[in-house]
A and B are shown apart, each in its own frame.
Chain A
Amino acid sequence: MAWVTQTLSSSLGRKVIMSLTGLFLCSFLIIHMAGNLQLFKGDGGRAFNEYTYFMTHNPLIMTISYVLYTSILVHALMAFILTRHNQASRPIKYAYSKPEANSAWASRNMGILGTVLLLFIIIHMRTFWYEMHFGSVPMAEYDGKEYKDLYAVVQVAFGELWYVILYVICMVAIGYHLWHGFQSGFQTLGLRHKKYTPIIEFLGKYFFAIIIPAAFAAMPIYVYLQVHHII
């Protein structure tokens, strides 16, 4: 098994781990966004609460959720190891450097963007995931069946203006992170082809870096406006 550990600890192997976990997290974002669109339904949260019940009780989803938590941790930890290694590769910095002449800002700042996202995930999971699993969530009853009313928790959280602003800023960060990250993940796996790379780049830049973050950012804004009876 020496070849496995040797491969995974090589610089390319570590990038492959970043790529696979990162692309898995991208696929999760689609599901997460699609599900949370229930917030826009305007039915007092019934569809959203039924959806959260399904997500916390379906055995397949529950299994995948543990893969998801592991992916987040591995992605962050591996990024930390790689960053330390990369910084050590240039112990003396340039006195004068002009990186903007040859590369995009997002591509050079994936670590900073990632750190913002990790902090966001911690805050996000504390507010919703922790409350859902371990907190005291009010109950709601639809057709004689009891559901945890996570929608009420959402309304309280997104009723706070500072919290909405924090979410919107973090969605900008995820946009920049995926602008570079999604297509870069395919490069790391060696998947580059004249026919498919333009499609991957288009998806990464417009779907993952713009549409998904915009949809997520719209949720706290919409709930805030609704809670405060502005719409």
Chain B
Amino acid sequence: MKITLKVWRQKNINTAGKLVEYQLDNVSEDMSFLEMFDVLNDSLTRKGEEPVAFDHDCREGICGTCSMYINGRPHGPQTGATTCQLHMRSFNDGDTIVVEPWRARSFPVIKDLMVDRLAFDRIIQSGGYVSVNTGSARDANEILIPRTIADEAMDAAACIGCGACVAACKNASAMLFVAAKVSQLAILPQGQAEHKERAERMVAQMDAEGFGACSFTGACSVECPKSISLDHIARLNREYLGAKLTSDNING
């Protein structure tokens, strides 16, 4: 199939970028979207041009590294999947595909389609952990947890931190990410001990990073490759407000 690509090219974090058009004449519909980019980069390299920089790692939808805004949607037209799980059969012969990096103040573009997602790491560092040793697997098995709770925690823990929620949100809000990371610990006994500080600190860090506020449009959940539910955002609001009203932290 023939494909016209309009790809965001940007030399580095300090320069302005622009969309550049490329023609690909021999694209197989069995290729993944990233393999199509490999073909593009191969041809660019042969012509002596700079290949397009893009993030990728596992290429099986579990690492959260790939991050392209394809034809107006994060991770492309399909739902519940990452860019590496998108195949060219989702497009038609002769299509023009616009590919841009995630757009958010907190995710500066490093080069071409690569963005700096360290803001997410700093949010995790601020409280997305359990700071005591919770024992071995055997100890965990001795704590009774209802199956429904365990499943819900697992659903939240499915977040791969790709940033599609931020990319999809009209406010570039990181609420779904923070909500998933707070939820996965808050509803389990091991995470209960620190649940108040965790909610307070992670939200404070989220705000400090410059992400927007939540408008509950639901775009994040629709575009999330792991389909993380808005239930977790409501829980984060509950956790945060509860913590603010009842924690011992009087200094904010």
Where the two chains meet, the residues of A that have a C-beta atom closer than 8 Å to any C-beta of B are 2-3, 5-7, 10-16, 82, 85-86, 88-99, 101-104, 107-108, 110, 180, 184, 187-192
Contact = CB atoms under 8 A, between A and B. Distances in A.
Interface in B65-123: 69, 71-73, 77, 98, 100, 103-106
A122 B213 CA distance: 28
A221 to B, nearest CB: 33
B168 A95 contact: no
Given A10-B203, A12-B203, 10 more contacts: A89-B173, A94-B69, A94-B103, A101-B222, A102-B218, A102-B219, A188-B214, A189-B238, A190-B234, A190-B239
B241 A10 contact: no
A15 B234 CA distance: 12
A187 B216 contact: yes
B172 A192 contact: no
A35 B194 CA distance: 50
B73 A102 contact: yes
A92 B101 CA distance: 11
Contacts, number: 146
B173 A107 contact: no
A11 B244 contact: no
A130 B199 CA distance: 46
Interface string B226-245: 00001101111111111010
A81 to B, nearest CB: 10
A189 B237 contact: yes
A77 B234 CA distance: 24
B216 A11 contact: no
Contacts of B233: 187
A107 B217 contact: yes
Contact of A11 (B72, B206, B218, B219): B206
Contacts of B236: 12, 190
Contacts of A5: 252
Interface centre among B19, B218, B238 (most CB of A within 10 A): B218
A85 B212 contact: yes
B12 interface: no
A108 B106 contact: no
B210 A107 contact: no
B171 A86 contact: yes
30 contacts: A2-B250, A6-B251, A11-B173, A12-B214, A12-B240, A15-B213, A16-B241, A85-B212, A86-B171, A88-B105, A89-B211, A89-B212, A90-B105, A95-B19, A96-B71, A99-B219, A101-B72, A102-B168, A103-B217, A103-B219, A104-B217, A104-B218, A107-B217, A108-B170, A187-B237, A188-B216, A189-B238, A190-B237, A190-B241, A191-B234
Contact of B252 (A7, A97, A180): A7
Contacts of B210: 88-89
Contact of B235 (A3, A93, A97, A190): A190
Nearest to B224: A102
B207 interface: yes
A90 B103 contact: yes
Contacts of A86: 170-173, 212-213, 215
A16 B235 CA distance: 14
A17 B233 CA distance: 17
B204 interface: yes
B163 to A, nearest CB: 13
Nearest to A107: B217
Contact of A108 (B212, B214, B217, B252): B217
Contacts of A93: 103
